[in-house]
Structure 1
Amino acid sequence: MKKILVSDDDANIRTLLRHVLTREGYLVQEAADGVKAVKLLQEERIDLAVVDVMMPHMDGLELCQYIREAYDIPVILLTARQQLSDKEQGYMRGTDDYLTKPFEPDELLFRIKALFRRYSVASGDIIRLNSLLIDRKNYEIRDGAEILLLPAKEFELLAQLAQYPGRLFSRSELIELVWGADYTKDERTVDVHIKRVRERFAPYQGDFNIRTVRGIGYKLELIGP
Structure 2
Amino acid sequence: MNPIKGIRVLVVDDEPNILQFLELGLLNEGFEVKTAPDGMAALTMIPQFRPHVAILDVMMPGIDGFEVCRMLKKSENVAIIMLTAKDEVDDRVKGLMLGADDYMVKPFSFEELLARIHARVRNQFPMLAGEASFGPFRIEDRRKEIQLEGRVLELSPTEYELLKFLVVNHGIVMSKALILEKVWGYDFGGDENIVEVYIRSLREKLGDREHRLIRTLRGAGYRVDLP
* 1:71 maps onto 2:91 in alignment: no
Is the radius of gyration larger for structure 1 or structure 2? Answer: 2
With structure 2 as the length reference, what TM-score do the two structures score? 0.59
Q: Return closer, same or farther for 1:182/1:15 CA change in 2, 3 Å cut-off.
A: same
- Aligned residue number for residue 101 of structure 1: 106
* 1:172 is aligned to 2:192: yes
1:39 aligned to 38, 41, 44, which one? 44
CA deviations over 1:141-187 (Å, ceiling 9, x no partner): xxxxxxxxxxx88xx6797578659576656259758x947449xxx
* Runs (5+) with no aligned partner, structure 1: 126-135, 140-151, 185-225
* Deviations 1:34-70 (CA, angstroms, capped at 9, x unpaired): 1110111012131110000011121000000111110
Map of 1:1-225 to 2, 5 A cutoff?
A: 1-121=6-126, 160=179, 166=185, 172=192, 180=216, 182-183=218-219
> Runs (4+) of structure 1 moved beyond 3 Å?
121-125, 136-139, 156-171, 173-177, 179-184
Gaps of 5+ in 2: 1-5, 135-168, 200-214, 221-227
The C-alpha deviation readout for 1:62-83, integer Å capped at 9, x for no partner, is 0001111100110000001111
Q: Is the 8 A contact 1:7 1:30 kept in 2?
A: yes
Cα–Cα, structure 1 residues 113 and 162, in superposed 2: closer, same or farther, change >3 Å?
A: farther
Distance 2:84 2:216 in 1: 52
| Alpha-carbon distance change, 116 to 172 in structure 1, aligned in 2, over 3 angstroms | same
Do the aligned partners of residues 173 and 77 (structure 1) sit closer, same or farther apart at CA in structure 2, a change above 3 Å counting? farther
1:71 partner amino acid:
E
* Correspondence for 1:128: none
AA of the residue aligned to 1:18: E
The 1:45–1:183 alpha-carbon spacing in structure 2 relative to 1, beyond 3 Å, is same
CA distance in 1, matches of 2:45, 2:62: 15
Amino acid at match of 1:69: K
The amino acid that maps onto 2:67 is E
Cα pair distance change 1:89/1:181, threshold 3 Å: closer
